Amino acid sequence: MSVNPVSFQIVSTNAARRNDFFDQVMDEHLQVAARTKETMGPVFFDLVDVCLKAICAGNKLMFFGNGGSAADAQHLATELTVRFVKDRRALPALALTTDTSTLTAAANDMGFETVFSRQLEALGRPGDVAIGISTSGKSPNVLKAFDIAKKMGLVTVGFTGKDGGDLQRMCDVLLIVPSHITSHIQEMHITLGQMLCGALERELGLV
């Protein structure tokens, strides 16, 4: 049986509509960034402090999330283990989103909600920092991971948006981006995450 390729058609390349779209999205981004700057400073430095404490005590940071948040998790873990601003000592961080054998085995055998909690159970130690990224604050596998993390004595950090969802009752530190638009929440998550990398390098005297 042959499958016909999907056919697409350009609807409009109107210059005015393109410019309106560009301006609208950029204006929304700048507004969310401004609100984030106004409200997020104290909780951001709470995040920096718990990560500094963990690293100086010989503990590690573990990032996780789904979809675009999974990409952010491995992006940030890489910035810490390899480099951010310049070459320096490696910082202890890992993403729980990259081991396909573990992810698929846990999802197949125990259910997708266990893909992060199972890894935390195996790898986490008291004093480690579990950093879960969920734009809605309602991702079942992120919530289950935090439930395990709390029981194991890990510090729990959430990156979210909207009203914070169920993460509000699960996190020691919670960064809620002041937006209901998923794309703009994600933009602030990676910005705040990279700011964390930069702050850790500076405050550990690595740059």
Confidence at residue 11, expressed as pLDDT on a 0 to 100 scale: 82
Per-residue pLDDT reduced to its tens digit, 20-39:
999 999 999 999 999 999 99
Per-residue pLDDT reduced to its tens digit, 163-194:
999 999 999 999 999 999 999 999 999 999 99
Per-residue pLDDT reduced to its tens digit, 133-164:
999 999 999 999 999 999 999 999 999 999 99
Whole-model pTM: value is: 0.94
Banded pLDDT at 1 (limits 50, 70, 90): low
Q: Is 12 exposed, middle or buried (0-12, 13-18, 19+ CB in 10 A)?
A: exposed
Confidence at residue 9, expressed as pLDDT on a 0 to 100 scale: 87
Superfamily for domain range 15-203:
Glucose-6-phosphate isomerase like protein; domain 1 (3.40.50.10490)
Residue 112 has pLDDT above 80, yes or no: yes
Q: Which residue has the higher pLDDT, 115 or 13?
A: 115
How many angstroms separate the CA atoms of 145 and 140, rounded?
Answer: 9
| Amino acid, single-letter form, for residue 167 | L
Average model confidence (pLDDT) across the chain:
96
**Which residue in 127, 87, 96 sits closest to 114, CA to CA?**
96
Helix (H) or strand (E) run with residue 74 in it: helix 68-81
Radius of gyration of the chain (CA): 19
Banded pLDDT at 118 (limits 50, 70, 90): very high
User: Under DSSP, is residue 80 helix (H, G, I), strand (E, B) or coil?
Assistant: helix
Banded pLDDT at 10 (limits 50, 70, 90): confident
Per-residue pLDDT reduced to its tens digit, 47-105:
999 999 999 999 999 999 999 999 999 999 999 999 999 999 999 999 999 999 999 99
Residue 8 has pLDDT above 90, yes or no: no
